[in-house]
Amino acid sequence: MSFGGFLDNGSSARVVADRPYSSMPAGAISQRHLVSPTLTNTMFNSPGLSLALQTNMEGRGEMGRIGGEFEASGSGRSKDDEYESRSGSDNMEGGSGDDQDADNPPRKKRYHRHTPQQIQELETLFKECPHPDEKQRLELSRRLSLESRQVKFWFQNRRTQMKTQIERHENSLLRQDNDKLRAENLTIRDAMRNPICSNCGGPAMLGEVSLEEQHLRIENARLKDELDRVCALAGKFLGRPVTSMTTASIPAQMPISSLELAVGSNGFGGLSSVATTLPPGADFGALSPTMSMVPGARPANVTGMERSMFLELALAAMDELVKMVQTDEPLWIPSLDGGKETLNYEEYVRSFPRCIRPKPVGFVTEASRDNGMVIINSMAFVETLMDANRWAQMFPCIIARASTADVISSGMCGTRNGALHLMHAELHVLSPLVPIREVNFLRFCKQHADGVWAVVDVSIDGIRENSTASTYINCRRLPSGCVVQDMPNGYSKVTWVEHAEYDESAVHQLYRRLLSSGMGFGAQRWVTTLQRECQCLAILMSSAISGRDHTAITPSGRRSMLKLAQRMTNNFCAGVCASTVHKWNKLCVGNVDEDVRVMTRKSVDDPGEPPGIVLSAATSVWLPVSPSRLFDFLRNERLRSEWDILSNGGPMQEMAHIAKGPDQGNCVSLLRASAMNASQSSMLILQETCVDAAGALVVYAPVDIPAMHVVMNGGDSAYVALLPSGFAIVPDGPGCGPYNNSTNSGNQKVGGSLLTVAFQILVNHLPTAKLTDESVDTVNNLISCTVQKIKGALHCES
């Protein structure tokens, strides 16, 4: 056919787009838009170009007009002509081509589809072979009554379809990826706008606040403190109070930064011209409001700022602790007699920038360092330290109370590395003559290497002006804490540093030497207590198997008894000092000895002690005997009648004995007065004794026989009611531990002990009852009688 020939010959022309057809006059519809020969096929085949062209066409662009122009020169072709060109295939569909006539273009369906059977067959072959050769195609075309080229086209199209399907699938996968990335991107961008700490959920601060800024803040805190002190001095000078909160006489618009700079440079210079006629301190009243504005300059997120300051403080404290642990001379000066080393303050000040506020006037410093092997692994110990309750249980004779106020960071990746807690603690030495040390501090934990951890504490007083700021702070802990390193034998080497500033004026003369030597709250006390407690835990674990005790107590009974004894000792410690664990009311009754403190509290709803009015009386005395002699005397059940009224004048008998460590002095025992009478037959005495290089304890409480029976069989000890009494012994004098028996022939005071005697007594079964003077007298007499008896027995009557 001629028209078919036209098509073949016109293969050099190209159809550009189908869209213009619809917009063209009817006569033009059949006309293909022939493109200028200068636009080569290659150009059109370039996907980018062809897309651009099509877009242009759609927009009725130039190409559309070009097409129109070419149309004029092209030959006319009817729609039917095109039908003709493919009549062959149509015939197949129609069943016969007879009904079509060249003269009378048939209305046969130009559109057709292969029959389902044909498609089925084609598909089947396609699955086996998407690329059939000519022979296969020919065979198939025969079988399906299709033209060979139809089969060819079908396979071609099928392959293309397959390709587009795969493409589409890949596309959707890519789109998913893209969406995911976009979402991630948005999240990250959002996170960058408003950073959140992944550990604590609070606003992130790490790295956000420059080190410079941190230092400026610390400097500001220091200056503020300085200002306070200068104000106080100025007040004295002027005879009227000069507070740092006087009304501003400097315009508020004055740029804060310049003021800061002025203050930062020399403290006075920036404003000295204003104040030349005034005493030096006077202008500070004017200056101060700007100072108080400094924290307010960023009112947006106080806690956020606090956090960053806490973090900076913690890092500085950690740095200081590690250096304090690792450095020897000249920072620490070894003592000549082999005793504890002392801190070289000049070197200390040189080495470390002060990270908390300056030492208040009247405060003194104590610093100590000690180390020892402890039967615990570093990880377990760190866990104990980071848990306020377990920490307090581990050190009952030092910690009266502990709590975690805020977890600023819980640590990284599920470990305690990087954990930062805000804690509150009340520390005591067991004497009513030494006030409880209340400290608010940060505890920061860091893993320095595999099996090497460091935990540092540092007071935050001065950073956080909390609600208790009005209450007097009597102690601040400078960076203190420990580095613990695993040893291959299951032990850890613990090195402890304690560094504090405290108000010595509140401490009784008797105890000042103890505290300043670091023996009261110092490193040695922490380390020795830790060693003792861990040993007890280790024994407790192993005794479950060995059970070499001569008393027939089951392992569970042993555990129950130890638990009860632990509670007893904790209660004893809480009764000696006015810790806030119990709401003690201090008594100031007429004829109470000046150095005996008497307190009362109501006991209600505590199954662990009898209900009613509990009276606690405690005093501390110095005795010219070594701590070990005093300890051995007090814990000896056969000598008990010399001081204990419960013994009924005769020796006591040890009914049960549970060792808590290799030292005989660390044990829990059950005592019975051998001189029994009817009234006391049902009473036993539970006693716990502890001793280490830093001190010793003898704590006891009368207990019910049936109740103890339950406990010794492994029963719950929580319901055994007891009120503990006992003694706390600390060495007093240089180089004088409990086992240092060398009697100094010279000054007796050198080798003595400080003994605290404390009783907790139920004075009335009714919690509502009023305390009578008589009961106070009675307990006062009891305590002084006991002290006298002890003094007499040890021949140290003065």
Distance CA(185)–CA(91), nearest Å, equals 59
Task: Mark 157-196 with x for binding to DNA (rule: CB under 7 A) and - for no binding.
Answer: x-xxx-x---------------------------------
Token duo for residue 398? 């030092």
What DSSP string runs through 491-516? Answer: -EEEEEEEEEEEEGGGS-HHHHHHHH
Q: What is the CA radius of gyration of the chain?
A: 46
Q: What does the DSSP 8-state code read for residue 39?
A: S
What DSSP string runs through 165-222? Answer: HHHHHHHHHHHHHHHHHHHHHHHHHHHHHS-B-TTTSSB--TTTS-HHHHHHHHHHHH
Q: Considering the complex, state which of residue 153 and residue 472 has its C-beta at the smaller distance from DNA.
A: 153
Q: Which of 39, 119, 223, 282 binds DNA (CB under 7 A)?
A: 119
Nearest C-alpha neighbor of 209 from the set 300, 294, 299, 312: 312
Q: Considering the complex, state which of residue 5 and residue 279 has its C-beta at the smaller distance from DNA.
A: 5
Among the listed ranges 77-85, 473-481, 559-567, 745-753, the one in contact with DNA (CB under 7 A) is: 77-85
Residue 414 in the binding site for DNA (CB under 7 A): no
Directed axis angle between helix 211-238 and helix 302-326, to 10°? 100
CA angle 594, 600, 601 (to 5 degrees): 155
Residue 154 in the binding site for DNA (CB under 7 A): yes
CA separation, residue 255 to residues 149, 283, 293, 484, 582 (Å) = 89, 18, 11, 49, 51
Among the listed ranges 128-136, 171-179, 474-482, 615-623, the one in contact with DNA (CB under 7 A) is: 128-136
Output the smallest distance, CB 41 to DNA, in A: 2
What residues contact residue 125 under an 8 Å CB cut-off, 6+ apart?
A: 132, 136, 140
Q: Considering the complex, state which of residue 5 and residue 339 has its C-beta at the smaller distance from DNA.
A: 5
State the amino acid at position 349 in one-letter form.
Answer: V
Q: Where are the alpha helices (DSSP H) in 378-446?
A: 378-386, 388-394
Task: Mark 84-103 with x for binding to DNA (rule: CB under 7 A) and - for no binding.
Answer: -xx--xx-------------
Which helix (H) or strand (E) element contains residue 792? helix 773-793
Q: Which of 1, 5, 18, 173 binds DNA (CB under 7 A)?
A: 18
Distance CA(784)–CA(221), nearest Å, equals 49
Task: Mark 671-710 with x for binding to DNA (rule: CB under 7 A) and - for no binding.
Answer: ----------------------------------------
Output the smallest distance, CB 119 to DNA, in A: 6
Q: Considering the complex, state which of residue 90 and residue 370 has its C-beta at the smaller distance from DNA.
A: 90
Residue 556 in the binding site for DNA (CB under 7 A): no
What residues contact residue 6 under an 8 Å CB cut-off, 6+ apart?
A: 75, 77
Q: Considering the complex, state which of residue 86 and residue 749 has its C-beta at the smaller distance from DNA.
A: 86
Output the smallest distance, CB 170 to DNA, in A: 14
Residue 410 in the binding site for DNA (CB under 7 A): no
Which helix (H) or strand (E) element contains residue 584? none
Distance CA(793)–CA(780), nearest Å, equals 20
Output the smallest distance, CB 113 to DNA, in A: 5
Task: Mark 600-639 with x for binding to DNA (rule: CB under 7 A) and - for no binding.
Answer: ----------------------------------------
Site for DNA in 30-69 (CB under 7 A): 32, 40-42, 44-45, 47, 50-51, 54
Among the listed ranges 82-90, 267-275, 344-352, 614-622, the one in contact with DNA (CB under 7 A) is: 82-90
Among the listed ranges 110-118, 207-215, 388-396, 474-482, the one in contact with DNA (CB under 7 A) is: 110-118
Output the smallest distance, CB 151 to DNA, in A: 8
Determine if residue 95 is left, alpha or beta; phi over 0 gives left, psi from -120 to 50 gives alpha, anything else beta. Answer: left
**What is the sign of the dihedral through the CA atoms of 114, 116, 117 and 119?**
positive
Q: Which of 11, 266, 470, 677 binds DNA (CB under 7 A)?
A: 11
Among the listed ranges 126-134, 402-410, 444-452, 633-641, the one in contact with DNA (CB under 7 A) is: 126-134
Distance CA(95)–CA(89), nearest Å, equals 10
Residue 133 in the binding site for DNA (CB under 7 A): yes
Output the smallest distance, CB 179 to DNA, in A: 18
Residue 257 in the binding site for DNA (CB under 7 A): no
What residues contact residue 394 under an 8 Å CB cut-off, 6+ apart?
A: 384, 529, 530, 533
Q: Considering the complex, state which of residue 90 and residue 320 has its C-beta at the smaller distance from DNA.
A: 90
State the amino acid at position 195 in one-letter form.
Answer: P
Output the smallest distance, CB 65 to DNA, in A: 17
Residue 145 in the binding site for DNA (CB under 7 A): no
Output the smallest distance, CB 406 to DNA, in A: 57
Distance CA(512)–CA(539), nearest Å, equals 36
The residues binding DNA (CB under 7 A) are: 7-8, 10-18, 21, 32, 40-42, 44-45, 47, 50-51, 54, 79, 82, 85-86, 89-90, 109-114, 119, 131, 133-134, 149-150, 152-157, 159-161, 163
